[in-house]
Amino acid sequence: MQTRGSEGRAGGPSVLFVHPDFGVGGAERLVLDAALALQSRGCRVQVWTAHYDPGHCFSESRELQVHCAGDWLPRSLGWGGRGAALCAYVRMVYLALYILLLSGEEMDMIVCDQVSACIPVFRLARHRKKILFYCHFPDLLLTQRNSFLKRLYRAPIDWVEEYTTGMADCIVVNSSFTANVFKNTFKSLAHINPDVLYPSLNVSSFDNVVPSDLDNLIPKGKKFVFLSINRYERKKNLTLALEALLELRGRLDLQDWEKIHLIMAGGYDERVLENVEYYKELENTADQFDLSHHVTFLRSFSDTQKISLLHNCTCVLYTPSNEHFGIVPVEAMYMQCPVIAVNSGGPLESVVDNITGFLCEPDPTQFSKAMEKFIRDPSLKATMGSAGRARVKEKFSLEAFTDQLYQYISKLTE
């Protein structure tokens, strides 16, 4: 077991967060912000997870008590990441049992997310604790069922997800888009209307960082730098950014083209086969398109690097379709960086088309036309950037997020 961080201030409710893998994704960012928000309100906060590597996690995680148990259990059943969902369920059930039977921890309530299979275990506690479940997106929609065996394998997992999700005392989701998907997916939970708790942006973590020099990432003479930030996963459709860059080349003369550069920055974990494979695929695609001199690939960047990239780039390209929420557009807008995003899912609620960026079909031509606008009218970055920061302060502030979350905690523990 691994423990880091400091004690929360005494006096408030004791809240225990349970999360599968405390890494560097959007879900982890939300859990971290939620834990820090409650700690700032006087709650005694702990985070329990099946995997935690301080070197591969947001730096603010060191401000919390983080405990790890069950990392010895497999993440998948052999080659190709097969059985990952089943293994995630087993790891979370083990983690819940460890907390109840071996940790000696006492808590007033539990907050869990991503994997609901641990909820019935916590229900076995001698003194029943209230449970809040944060649904980022139904897991059963995140996988393909291309064979009878896959459908057979997923059937009990999907049933367990739906049944155990309904066992939570309170369910919240990250966007109105996800709320609608929740209602349409979990038919037996039609009586539940989950509240929307938008992920927030802890702006102090951005304001306190001095952007660093990026000469090692951006070649000299590049006036227009486009930035893609997403994990190296195929569902993020990062190929769209490369295809859009290829289309853009055909729309510009040679002089303007030489001023263009794209940075592909993404979360990367060498333990995850898809990360390794997709990264190589993208590199090969850049070579095939003859774009290698105009693209920089960056893996598992630091918080300082991310903020520096957002500070220095012209625009962010956000390529996933039907993204559940997507914190990257919010981060970009706060850094006064316009966003070009696919016109579906969470970005419909965060990005204002033609005001803070552009919402496009997931089509290289549409993306390249939007990118070209920043080249033809460089003042567009400042205008849209200013509007983006104002929108984040209005709708996605940490204060609003903290107030709403603390209300849930207070109501459940009263």
pLDDT tops 50 at residue 202: yes
For residue 125, the Cα-to-chain-centroid distance in whole angstroms is: 31
Residues 126 and 233 in one domain: no
Q: Which helix (H) or strand (E) holds 375?
A: helix 364-376
pLDDT tops 90 at residue 26: no
Residues 178 and 144 in one domain: yes
Residues 42-55: pLDDT tens digits? 999 999 999 999 88
C-beta of residue 357 within 8 angstroms of C-beta of residue 338: yes
Q: How far apart are CA 138 and CA 59, in angstroms?
A: 28
CATH for 40: 3.40.50.2000
Q: How far apart are CA 164 and CA 280, in angstroms?
A: 38
Domain that includes residue 324, residue range: 204-396
Q: Which residue, among 332, 297, 299, 301, has the nearest Cα to 317 in the 3D structure?
A: 332
Residues 68-87 have a mean pLDDT of: 88
Q: How far apart are CA 280 and CA 260, in angstroms?
A: 23
Whether 81 is covered by a domain: the verdict is: yes
Residues 232 and 294 in one domain: yes
Read off the tokens for 114: 């991503």
pLDDT tops 90 at residue 11: no
Contacts 24+ apart (CB under 8 A), 369-378: 369/251, 370/340, 371/226, 371/244, 371/245, 371/248, 371/315, 371/317, 371/340, 372/248, 372/251, 372/252, 374/224, 374/314, 374/315, 374/338, 375/224, 375/252, 375/256, 375/259, 375/260
pLDDT for residue 302: 80
pLDDT tops 60 at residue 187: yes
pTM for the full predicted model: 0.81
> Percent of the chain at pLDDT above 90?
75
Quote the mean pLDDT of the chain.
92
pLDDT for residue 6: 45
Residues 314-366: pLDDT tens digits? 999 999 999 989 999 999 999 999 999 999 999 999 999 999 999 999 999 99
Residues 316 and 297 in one domain: yes
Whether 134 is covered by a domain: the verdict is: yes
pLDDT tops 70 at residue 3: no
Residues 108-123: pLDDT tens digits? 999 999 999 999 999 9
Q: How many domains does the chain have?
A: 2
pLDDT tops 80 at residue 385: yes
Whether 5 is covered by a domain: the verdict is: no
pLDDT for residue 356: 98
Residues 204-211 have a mean pLDDT of: 81
Whether 6 is covered by a domain: the verdict is: no
- Report the b/e string of 210-226 with b at 16+ CB within 10 A: eeeebeebbeeebebbb
Q: How far apart are CA 390 and CA 248, in angstroms?
A: 30
pLDDT for residue 1: 52
Q: Which is higher by pLDDT, 300 or 232?
A: 232
Which range is least confidently modeled, 139-143, 250-254, 290-294? 139-143
Band of residue 128 on the pLDDT scale cut at 50, 70, 90: confident
Whether 7 is covered by a domain: the verdict is: no
